[in-house]
Amino acid sequence: MDNHRKLTSGFSKKIKSYELSYLFAKQMNHGLQYKTKDWLLFEPSRFIYSFFALNMVYDIDWDKSFRECKVCPYHYRINTTKKIISSLDFIYSHNDVLDFKSCFYGFDNSLSLIANSTDIEPDENINRIDTYEDFSESESYFNNYLSGIESLKYDNFDQSSHYKLLIFTYQIRNNIFHGLKTIDMMSLEKQRSRLIDYTNIILVTLEQFFELINKKYNYSRAKNDDISQNFHSFSS
């Protein structure tokens, strides 16, 4: 497809709805309140909203979508791992992609996920072997996550490293959805810090995606007032 081909209004509007979900997760603080007590910031909510936005993106075959100028979802039988890999293939097949580490500084200028990775307590799920051998090297999700962190630390981060971080966040999502992480566990300070790290990994991935299609396909990015207008419309 010609990089300068104008997107149809319907296609662009659909992409904009995905980006608004990303901006909602990025910009909104999420909290909980117990009876008459003050509101408390609750990071798991932001993590889940971020993953919802990521889910919207990786469910789409973007190479086909931009060829046909319409949203083309993957067949339902394609598993999540392959969808995530395909999304990363799309992002990294373009030279214009934002550098992951530089982009991450926009969400966390201290790169705290490097220090926080030493406090993770492996569980039954993240100790499972990742069977996708091209990127996983037949290691556990946990060991691959640590490997991805090392790549980030020593500036040799690539698509394989990105996959290792992102697929690990999917395992954390499964832990939450399947009840392996209780509310009490997720409220612990160290766990809350790591959930911020996992959320930032997702948000950086989405920022890379939307900025890439802005450059390559003339997609007009959503603005801050777009999320405000949509939020007020929803709340009313």
Tell which wins on pLDDT, 165 or 125.
Answer: 165
Q: What is the pLDDT of residue 236?
A: 43
Q: Which position has the token pair 């997609």?
A: 219
Q: What is the pLDDT of residue 142?
A: 96
Per-residue pLDDT tens for 71-102?
Answer: 999 987 889 999 999 999 999 998 889 999 99
Tokens of 13: 């509007």
pLDDT > 70? residue 213: yes
Q: What is the pLDDT of residue 42?
A: 64
Q: What is the pLDDT of residue 59?
A: 97
What is the DSSP track for 97-135? PPPHHHHHHTT-TT-HHHHHGGG----TTTTSBP--HHH
SS3 content of the chain, % helix, strand, coil (to 5): 65, 5, 35
Q: What is the rounded distance in angstroms from the CA atom of residue 148 to the CA atom of residue 23?
A: 26
Under 8 Å between Cβ of 176 and 44: yes
Residue 40 three-state SS: strand
pLDDT > 60? residue 48: yes
Per-residue pLDDT tens for 127-151?
Answer: 999 988 777 678 999 999 999 999 9
Mean pLDDT for the chain overall: 86
At 233, is the pLDDT very low, low, confident or very high (cuts 50, 70, 90)? very low
Q: What is the pLDDT of residue 41?
A: 64
Neighbours of 84 (CB within 10 A): 22
Cα→Cα distances 48→22, 42, 55, 156, Å: 11, 11, 10, 29
Of 1-5, 169-173, 205-209, the poorest mean pLDDT is in: 1-5
Q: What is the rounded distance in angstroms from the CA atom of residue 121 to the CA atom of residue 84?
A: 25
